[in-house]
Amino acid sequence: MFSRFLKYFKTSKEDIYEMLLLIPIFSLYATINKYVISCVETEGPSMQPTLTESNIAIVDRFIYKIKGIQRGDIVVATSPIDPNTQICKRVLHLPGDVKETNNGFMTEYFTIPPNHVWIEGDNKMNSFDSRNHGPIPIDLIQGKVIGCLYPLKLVH
């Protein structure tokens, strides 16, 4: 059967062995990229001036789960509106925090529910965030931005 496979692709055994060696390498890369650390390209103006269009952000996908989300962290999350879209915003309020809102007529207060956070873009004039859709479940957070690979800088 293996010999028929080789004839079908007209390749040598050495080439097949080299290709088979790449499988664990790509599997390791995919695992690290999904669960440990990865790079994402930023889009849109919502995090300006901290992150601008086409920055390459370094995202911690593991350690932040141990340390927990802190107020001020920049996170990458699944959009609560479109599950096929990732968003990048700053955490402003944690579970149990009291959020004050003013609709122009009166001031209202509400408490951030358990297992939710309030996120907003740094560019308040051009960001679709918790002010539009409310607090997001912590489970939607995929990682914490720890820096930029391009241009090289730490993010805080």
Please indicate whether residue 3 is annotated as part of the active site.
no
Of 79, 63, 64, which Cα lies nearest the Cα of 119? 79
Annotated catalytic residue: which of 10, 13, 27, 46? 46
Burial class of residue 98, CB neighbours in 10 A (0-12, 13-18, 19+): exposed
User: What's the CA gap between 129 and 134, in Å, rounded?
Assistant: 8
What residues does 147 pair with on adjacent strands? 58, 154
For the chain, the helix, strand and coil percentages under 3-state DSSP, each to the nearest 5: 30, 35, 35
Nearest-angstrom CA–CA distance, 81 and 78: 9
Q: For residue 34, what are its two tokens?
A: 């999904």
Catalytic member of 3, 7, 27, 89: 89
Catalytic residue IDs: 46, 89
